Structure 1
Amino acid sequence: MSVELLITEHLDLWTRVVKSKSAGGRARNGEVETTGIKKLRELILELAVRGKLVAQHDSDEPAQTLLKRITEKKARLQADGQIKKTKELPAVSEDEARFDIPSNWIWTRLGTIAQISPRNRAEDQTEVSFIPMPLITTSHTGGHSQEKRQWSAIKKGYTHFADGDIALAKITPCFENSKAAVFRNLHNGIGAGTTELHVARPYGSTIDPFFILYCLKSPGFLIRGEARMTGTAGQKRLPKDFFATDPIPLPPLAEQHRIVQKVDELMALCDRLEQQTRDQHAAHETLVDALLDTLTQSQDADELADNWARLAAHFDTLFTSEQSVERLKRSVIQLAISGRLTNQAGNTEPPAVLLDAIAEQRESLVQLNKIRKPAQSRRSSKSAELFSLPKGWQWGVLEDLFAIVTDGDHQAPPKSASGIPFLTIGNVNTGSINFHGCRHVPSEYYESLDWARRPGKNDLLYTVTGSYGISAPVTSHKAFCVQRHIAILKSVDATPIPYVLLFLRSQLAFDYVERSVTGIAQKTLSLSALRKMPIPIPPLEEQERLVKQSDKLMMLCDQIKAHVKQAGESRRQMAEAVVEQAIH
């Protein structure tokens, strides 16, 4: 089966295997990652280096003869003193050949057919190209940008290269991301740049550098190379020896050119498919947004029921990504906290009664010296109001509902191999508490902390630095403490934890946090801003109905999300199977 037919027969598969990328935090929309087309691009490269992309021609000069010509060219350059003599690499054995190749191809090594780590010679005043790592792309074209420099400024301490050279990024994550280049249009034909490159220079025009580029970008090479990298995490590098000696297939030169031309054609087709997929995804997202806006604009529970019924009839076509289901969840929460998810009951106890009970219990903690007496009345003012609420509701601020809102100890805690768990943001960033892999502090340190800095059951944790805006309930009596980047919302018996947790996961709460965070490198929500977060407070009886109805709808959303995830995984597995069948 031709690759063109492989693409068209499975077109729906390539374009529907996608993954949504969040635009950051809980932002409304994100870009789509076209994982199916990415897999198709990888397949094209793998077929290219296995001799399955274009037909072989009997009239082509065999690769064995080409290799002989390369060897002779190399010998002449060494004899003329243009390149240094190097140790001959051994021929590739049958055991090293990883897959079958056409009969007129041959296995070889990059260090056999190209000069590794070449050096340039030029006058100091020559204008040349300078290329740092950010100017090298991950594209199959091996594209790059360049800056103009004088040779005297960069001839030492940098990697040398020239037009026609092939370069491969050797450091993580640039290697895994397939940063590589075929240099061209350099100023005066030469240049230098980042030291984190391996460079190979063909001996004249004996090989097509773009075919070698495809070998270095093929999935098989990247997988093998990643396994051979050395060094510590974040600073792992591909050894030069692997770059020079890992076996690569060599086709006849004429076929190399045909392969390069065919790859360009197929990658252009992938580009068109990718753009089409992104356009369709954007149109679909716009439709989902419009329908969800209609849902959230429902004026009461009866109108909501009608709008929900119309939406539910098209769930299977509307909510086809995990991201769209998450937006549906946010819409449900917004309806709940604005009083439109359920019909309002009359003759309910007003929120002021709940707030008075919380204030009374807070005062008891003051009397027990567990917290300090607030400097002023904590009851909210008109400034907290963001929109009109149903009759019987009132606006408050977050601290109205808690004994105190504080954070972890600001001093670095002593370390201990065992003892009391000490949690960081990584232990709560999924919305629940995970003690696995956490650090520990001595029991004496924990006991020395103020009562407010020792989370207890029914308290809430809330991240305020870096990955801010994540809430996690404390559901057990297990003793632990937290870093300063996590706020502790200490509850009293009257604190309506389920409702507050629902609110903190709303778009309204997150939008407030987005407006309130400060900083550039590491944005932070201050405790004072967290305490003053506006919150609509329904009567307690209404809160319970809202939470119950929200939980019911969230369960439905989770079922839809699980179905979407399963369908996506099935398509991914089908794509893998098609790729495996095409290769073998």
Structure 2
Amino acid sequence: MNPKNTIEEDVEVSFVPMAYIKDGYANEAKFDRRQWRDIKLGFTHFQNNDLGIAKITPCFENRKSVIFKNLYNNYGAGTTELHIFRPIVFPIIAEYALYISKTENFISNGIANFSGAVGQQRVGKDIIGDYLIALPPLEEICKILSSISKLFLIVDGIGNDKDQLYSYIQKTKSKILDLAIRGKLVPQNPNEEPASMLLERIKAEHPESKKKAKNAGDNSHYQNLPQGWTECTLESIGSWSSGATPNRSNKMYYENGTISWLKTGDLNDSYIDYIPEKITDLALKECSVRLNPKDSVLIAMYGATIGKIGILNIPATTNQACCTCITYSGIYNKFLFYLLMAKKKILQMKAEGGAQPNISKEKITSFPILLPPSQEQIRIIQVVESLFQRLDNITAEL
């Protein structure tokens, strides 16, 4: 600990003030060039492969520590607020000690043994020198350091690129949704009513769906269909409609209107609480618009917004570029919402047209899906929202 250098006075060496040592988990320091005669007294001595650990607050708590590398002529001196550890035999021991010096336990032990006045407290040489460590075989140390380096590269890459982390989060959300709609996110319960029986009940309650529903009884072509799930189409699980645009030249359709009229630009892939444009009761009566209740699920069919979705928190009508679903009993709107979100890219690929491609209501309603039992839909929603909240909390910290 804290060795002295013995070299010629006219040798040019490195000089390292405390400000030149990076804090945190970095292992970096920059330096200036000085003549040895100018810095041999009144400064801390070190050489290549020595470990320097800051001893004064707050530098110690901030993990200012470094392995000195590439020093001019192998030697250097610098701030007196360092303790120097020089490995006797293997330089790699110093690197192992570096990572120990950055652990929470090491820092906490040092803080508990601070001495000196407030604002000028230090960790003594003996506190650091007497700190007990677990010393594995040399080969094991090499493996540990290699693993730490790889992990730090990943962490540094994420820390230096918030956009990349945001991209990882979005991909993670996509993967969660993919697992959810394939029955891989939550376990199945054999005691729950199967989705096929749910569809039969929907047919009885909504006779118009009988002629539309795809046969839900034969799922033999799905070799790995989750237990209790069934195949159907989107039209089997709700009442779908597209809207219209009341004649703009008829002011009586718009002036002093109180009924929300949604355009696809109002969709936000979330809950919709406010819609700026309104139409009148006359427009609702005379035009091909439906007043959709709160909790209806919407999806855009035209142009750049194709696949954009939302859930109404207020009753609203829509224009013709938007398709709306009022889900049947036993079908949870949030499950449909996450299903459409998961299938967004596939639905977009079904769009046709030149300057303004679109996907028709018929293509949406005939889209095949796998439907889980009602109770499993609830569990899927709960898990998806819990995981999404955690990811959103990370995003909020970026």
Give the structure-2-normalised TM-score: 0.54
| Match of residue 311 from structure 2 | 473
AA matched with 1:463: A
Rounded Cα–Cα distance in structure 2 between residues aligned with 1:393 and 1:522:
37
Going from structure 1 to structure 2, the CA distance change for 1:429 and 1:465 (only over 3 Å counts) comes to farther
SS in 1 for 2:270: coil
| Match of residue 204 from structure 2 | 360
Going from structure 1 to structure 2, the CA distance change for 1:317 and 1:551 (only over 3 Å counts) comes to farther
| Match of residue 443 from structure 1 | 281
1:333: how far off?
A: 0.8
| Match of residue 267 from structure 2 | 428
| Match of residue 184 from structure 2 | 340
| Match of residue 456 from structure 1 | 293
| Match of residue 226 from structure 2 | 390
Whether the 8 Å contact between 1:423 and 1:439 is mirrored in structure 2 is yes
Whether the 8 Å contact between 2:233 and 2:368 is mirrored in structure 1 is yes
Rounded Cα–Cα distance in structure 1 between residues aligned with 2:384 and 2:333:
14
Whether the 8 Å contact between 2:219 and 2:230 is mirrored in structure 1 is no
1:496: how far off?
A: 1.9
Name the one with the larger helix percent: 1
Rounded Cα–Cα distance in structure 1 between residues aligned with 2:230 and 2:180:
14
Rounded Cα–Cα distance in structure 2 between residues aligned with 1:494 and 1:344:
17
Whether the 8 Å contact between 1:401 and 1:496 is mirrored in structure 2 is no
| Match of residue 323 from structure 1 | 167
| Match of residue 504 from structure 1 | 340
Equivalent of 1:407 in 239, 242, 249: 242
1:557 equivalent to 2:395? Answer: no
Rounded Cα–Cα distance in structure 1 between residues aligned with 2:348 and 2:317:
26
Rounded Cα–Cα distance in structure 2 between residues aligned with 1:351 and 1:375:
16
Rounded Cα–Cα distance in structure 1 between residues aligned with 2:262 and 2:242:
12
1:513: how far off?
A: 0.7
AA matched with 2:372: P
Rounded Cα–Cα distance in structure 1 between residues aligned with 2:345 and 2:269:
19
| Match of residue 375 from structure 2 | 541
Going from structure 1 to structure 2, the CA distance change for 1:375 and 1:535 (only over 3 Å counts) comes to closer
Rounded Cα–Cα distance in structure 1 between residues aligned with 2:229 and 2:206:
22
- Residues 141-193 of structure 1: per-residue CA shift (max 9 Å, x gap): xxxxxxxxxxxxxxxxxxxxxxxxxxxxxxxxxxxxxxxxxxxxxxxxxxxxx
AA matched with 2:237: L
1:325: how far off?
A: 1.0
1:357: how far off?
A: 2.6
Rounded Cα–Cα distance in structure 2 between residues aligned with 1:559 and 1:317:
20
Whether the 8 Å contact between 1:396 and 1:535 is mirrored in structure 2 is yes
1:327: how far off?
A: 1.1
1:484 equivalent to 2:320? Answer: yes
AA matched with 1:441: I
SS in 1 for 2:206: helix
- Residues 93-135 of structure 1: per-residue CA shift (max 9 Å, x gap): xxxxxxxxxxxxxxxxxxxxxxxxxxxxxxxxxxxxxxxxxxx
Whether the 8 Å contact between 2:268 and 2:308 is mirrored in structure 1 is yes
SS in 1 for 2:198: helix
| Match of residue 256 from structure 2 | 418
Equivalent of 1:376 in 206, 211, 214: 211
Rounded Cα–Cα distance in structure 2 between residues aligned with 1:512 and 1:523:
14
Calculate the aligned-residue CA RMSD, in Å. Answer: 3.0
Whether the 8 Å contact between 1:336 and 1:342 is mirrored in structure 2 is yes
- Residues 248-273 of structure 1: per-residue CA shift (max 9 Å, x gap): xxxxxxxxxxxxxxxxxxxxxxxxxx
| Match of residue 36 from structure 2 | none
Rounded Cα–Cα distance in structure 1 between residues aligned with 2:364 and 2:323:
9
Going from structure 1 to structure 2, the CA distance change for 1:316 and 1:528 (only over 3 Å counts) comes to farther
SS in 1 for 2:271: coil
Which aligned runs of 4 or more in structure 1 are off by greater than 4 angstroms?
Answer: 314-320, 380-387
SS in 2 for 1:352: helix
| Match of residue 174 from structure 1 | none
1:408: how far off?
A: 0.3
Whether the 8 Å contact between 2:307 and 2:345 is mirrored in structure 1 is no
Whether the 8 Å contact between 1:384 and 1:397 is mirrored in structure 2 is no
**What does 1:155-170 correspond to in 2, within 5 Å?**
none
Whether the 8 Å contact between 2:196 and 2:229 is mirrored in structure 1 is no
SS in 2 for 1:321: helix
| Match of residue 207 from structure 1 | none
1:460: how far off?
A: 1.1
Rounded Cα–Cα distance in structure 1 between residues aligned with 2:354 and 2:220:
27
Whether the 8 Å contact between 1:422 and 1:482 is mirrored in structure 2 is yes
Give the structure-1-normalised TM-score: 0.37
Going from structure 1 to structure 2, the CA distance change for 1:563 and 1:541 (only over 3 Å counts) comes to same
1:384: how far off?
A: 12
Whether the 8 Å contact between 2:297 and 2:336 is mirrored in structure 1 is no
AA matched with 1:396: C
Aligned length: 237
Whether the 8 Å contact between 1:498 and 1:547 is mirrored in structure 2 is yes
Going from structure 1 to structure 2, the CA distance change for 1:547 and 1:530 (only over 3 Å counts) comes to same
SS in 2 for 1:435: coil
Whether the 8 Å contact between 1:385 and 1:395 is mirrored in structure 2 is no
1:353: how far off?
A: 2.0
Percent sequence identity is 21
Whether the 8 Å contact between 1:384 and 1:395 is mirrored in structure 2 is no
Going from structure 1 to structure 2, the CA distance change for 1:525 and 1:426 (only over 3 Å counts) comes to same
| Match of residue 62 from structure 2 | none
Rounded Cα–Cα distance in structure 2 between residues aligned with 1:336 and 1:412:
42
| Match of residue 93 from structure 1 | none
- Residues 388-439 of structure 1: per-residue CA shift (max 9 Å, x gap): 321221111111100x212002653544232122221111144332535x22
User: What are the ranges of 5 or more consecutive residues in structure 2 without an aligned counterpart?
Assistant: 1-19, 21-150
- Residues 207-243 of structure 1: per-residue CA shift (max 9 Å, x gap): xxxxxxxxxxxxxxxxxxxxxxxxxxxxxxxxxxxxx
Rounded Cα–Cα distance in structure 1 between residues aligned with 2:387 and 2:156:
16
AA matched with 1:325: I
Higher Cα Rg: structure 1 or 2? 2
Rounded Cα–Cα distance in structure 2 between residues aligned with 1:384 and 1:520:
39
AA matched with 1:550: V
Rounded Cα–Cα distance in structure 1 between residues aligned with 2:362 and 2:319:
18
Rounded Cα–Cα distance in structure 2 between residues aligned with 1:316 and 1:547:
34
1:486: how far off?
A: 0.5
User: What are the ranges of 5 or more consecutive residues in structure 1 without an aligned counterpart?
Assistant: 1-8, 10-310, 364-372, 565-584
| Match of residue 47 from structure 2 | none
SS in 2 for 1:461: strand
